[in-house]
Structures are given as structure tokens and as C-alpha cells.
Amino acid sequence: MAASSRGSEAAASLIRATKNPRLCNTCISSLPSRRTYAAAAAQLKPSEPTPSASPATSTELAPYTIKSGICLSRAPVLTQPLHPFESAFFFYQRRLNERLAMPFSRYFYFKKGTPLDSAWKRKAATRGGTPARDLGAYNPYSETGWNDEVMVGDRISEKKVTREALVEDAMNRGLSAEEAGAEEEEVVEIPQERYTEADTAKDVKRLDRKLTRTLYLVVKNKEGKWTFPSGELVGRENLHQAAERVLVQSAGMNMNTWIVGHVPIGHYISKPHLGGDSAITKQGEKTFFMKGRIMAGQADLKENAFGITDWKWLTKEEVQGHVGPKYFSHVKNMMAAR
């Protein structure tokens, strides 16, 4: 008998003999008294075939194939446009702060008699004495100092009016003719619109469209169906490794992407097809989707390994119009609302 087995048997007999109050009778009776695994191993005959080695089951198809899919997205670039009520509310808050912050200590920022002080006076004159550049004229010391509310129908709180006011103030440096001639010409950067040429042309292959929404990469497979890129697992690779490989083999190398995490964010199951004798004629699929982000680049279908013929960058609502109803019911919770 080996030393380890003699030690365990002696420990078990010692516990039974001392009747340790910390152990109940059920635990004591369950302690092993001899090496039962050795006897069981000796009775096993290696010549007997195991059930897994049966030739009848080795030729049968597995019910499902495991696939790894990739839900590749481009995050929003701009914030959502404000509702008109939100614009009016925030404008009111800024005007209220402007009133409570009065008076504006001009000599704290501009020394008296300097060119900057002269420029400030000219700019303030065009704004009705208001320090803010985009809140409209307001003089707290006038007879109508109480009237700082935004009237119904006033467009001063709209983003377009605010942008025009800021650009006009930046272009108006408030300098005299002599001072303006001595100063170098300053280039004013005009803010860009929230809508790009891709939005106007409705080009669904460009990433600079729908800047306030999340875009998702969908591809058209060889069967003519729109889905997320997916492929079967190869060898001993996991879902994360398979997603990286499938993305490269589907959309090329010209993308800077990042697979987020090692846990799938959703799955899609298609059942297998059965014949008349309940035999599997076509395997089903279990696709587990990994989350991915694209930082730069673009999809390229040249030499893709899955027969993909087309791709698009779509929002959640646009994805619903391309994929099937059953497919969308499985993947809709993976996609963001905006």
C-alpha cells in the first residue's frame, strides 16, 4: 500500500475513533476507507470499445455548427440635436446667469486706455452692452432691465442663430481703421454643419453619415441575405479569436478595429433541417456575436473568404429594414437606441 493511501486511511480511522464533535455521523460515514478507484480501474478492460468510438455515430452530422459573429459599430461623433424646448430652457438658464453675474468687471479683463479696451467698447456697443456674445442685447440698468425672457416665436435660442452670432462676433474684432490696418488678418474658423455630403447623397457606404447615430456594418452573403459578418470556429480558437479572424476575412485589413471583451453580447439560432427518417439533412447554426468598434478605415470585400457581395453602414432602424424579422428579433437588443 502506498504511503499516501495509508495516511488517508489512518486519518479516516482516527476521526472515526475520536468521534470529533465538529463532524456529524453522516460526514464520518462518507469518508473513504479504502482506494475504491484502484479496484475500479483494474476491472476496466481496455479492449472493450467505448460508446463514443461506435462507427454508427461517427458518420452522423452534428445538429449545430458553432459560429462567431461580429457586431461592428461606429460610435456617434456628435451629440443629439436639442429639442426646441431644451434649447429655450438652456438659453434661459444662461441669460439668468448673465443677469445674476452683473455687473461685468471690464477693467479686470481689459486695462483702461489699451487697444483691447477700445476694441471691447466697440464690440459691446454692437451687442447693446451685453458681455455675452450670443444672448442678445440686455442692459440690467435700463428701464426694461426686468424684461430678459425669451418671447414666443423668438429665434434667438436656435442653434443656427447662435452660430451666426458667434461667427459674426469673431469676425468683428472691434478695431479702428488704423488698428485694423496694422493688425495681421485673422482667419476665422466657421463651424461645420451637422449634416455631411454623405447624408445629402444618402451614401450608406460612408462612415461620415448620421454623425449623431451609431452605425453598424452589415454584409450581403452569397445567399443574398443581409447579416452581420460571421464564420465557423476553426480548431481550438475561442469566440474572441474567431471574431477577429472573421472580420479580417470578411471586410479586409483596411480597418482599425477593436473587439470589446471576451463575452458575446447576443446570439442567433437557426434550427437544422430533418429528413423523412429524422436524419439531419442540413446542420443548424448557433451564432454568438461579439461587440466591436471601428476607429478608422473602411471595409474592403476584395478576396473575402465568405462570398460577400456588398456591405453597408446602417443605423438600427435601417438594419431592421434589411435583415429578416426573425434575425432582427435576436439582434435588436445588441444595438444601441441612438
Tens digits of residue pLDDT in 8-31: 454 455 445 444 455 565 655 555
What is the reported pLDDT for 237? 94
Residue 189 included in any domain: no
Residues constituting the chain: 338
Residues 225 and 145 in one domain: no
Residues 221 and 205 in one domain: yes
What is the reported pLDDT for 108? 85
Residues 202 and 154 in one domain: no
Extended beta strands in 151-305, E state: 215-220, 226-227, 230-232, 255-260, 266-270, 273-274, 280-282, 284-297
Q: What is the pTM for the complete model shown?
A: 0.70
Residues 322 and 258 in one domain: yes
Residue 190 included in any domain: no
User: For residue 149, which of 96, 104, 83, 84 has the smallest C-alpha distance?
Assistant: 96
User: Domains in the chain: how many in total?
Assistant: 3
Residues 262 and 326 in one domain: yes
Here the contacts of 104-107 (C-beta below 8 Å, separation 24 or greater) are 104/131
Q: In angstroms, what CA-CA distances link 13 with 3, 19, 108, 231, 295?
A: 15, 10, 91, 58, 67
31 CB-near residues (< 8 Å, 6+ apart): 12, 15, 16
- Domain interval for residue 278: 64-78+197-334
Give me the chain's average pLDDT, please.
Answer: 80
Between CA 172 and CA 169 the distance in angstroms is 5
**Each residue of 137-181: pLDDT tens digit?**
777 677 877 777 777 778 888 888 888 888 877 777 655 555 555
Between CA 304 and CA 301 the distance in angstroms is 5
Residue 42 has pLDDT above 70, yes or no: no
Residues 174 and 223 in one domain: no
Residues 72 and 216 in one domain: yes
98 CB-near residues (< 8 Å, 6+ apart): 130, 131, 132, 135, 138, 148
